[in-house]
Amino acid sequence: MATVNFTRASNAVETKEVFLTLLEFTHPDMPNAIYFVDNTTAIVSNGTTYDPYPFEITLPEDTEGVLPQVKLKIDNVDRVLTDAIRGFSNPPVVTLKIILASNPDTVEMKLENLKLRNVTFDMYSIKGNLVMDSPLARKFPASTFNPKQYPALFFR
């Protein structure tokens, strides 16, 4: 739930507030998470330091029947992230947060458990889609009941 200050600033024609986007990359193969902020200086939010790093977020359009995908473009100025992503067998998990620079410890909006998919690289940028797992793509029911696995259900 966004604060009153955030709502006022986002609806105002002009504002002195600065909106910052925080990115957190995690993966089981990474010893530590990677934290970025779209700012020129580091930001400490809730005890975590987010390093300045140039990136762009493009929010999805509201299209009926299509699962939303957030587009992410990260400048490829440091090969560490490129090498890490290339080495993963499954996609990293990304958390996206929006804060106000005047109050960095209050997370105004948050998208969690986004998977970085459809990643492309070139010498200038890393591009990909941040997608949530579709609840419609999950297997239902979660397991199958058959005589071999559940013999007590099929006694005569």
The rounded average pLDDT for each run of 10 residues, N- to C-terminus, in the chain (156 residues) is 83 90 90 91 95 89 76 82 78 91 92 88 87 66 71 72
Residue 87: its pLDDT value, please? Answer: 76
Residue 1: its pLDDT value, please? Answer: 67
Q: Tally the domains of the chain.
A: 1
Residue 64: its pLDDT value, please? Answer: 79
CA pseudo-torsion sign 121, 126, 128, 132: positive
Tokens 């029947």 correspond to 65
On whether the pTM is more than 0.85, the answer is no
Residue 19: burial class (beta carbons within 10 Å; 0-12, 13-18, 19+): middle
Distance CA(132)–CA(109), nearest Å, equals 16
Q: How far is CA 43 from the centre of its chain?
A: 18
Tokens 């797992």 correspond to 133
> What domain range is 137 assigned to?
4-154
Q: How far is CA 141 from the centre of its chain?
A: 28
Residue 79: its pLDDT value, please? Answer: 73
DSSP-based three-state secondary structure for 124:
coil
Distance CA(18)–CA(102), nearest Å, equals 7
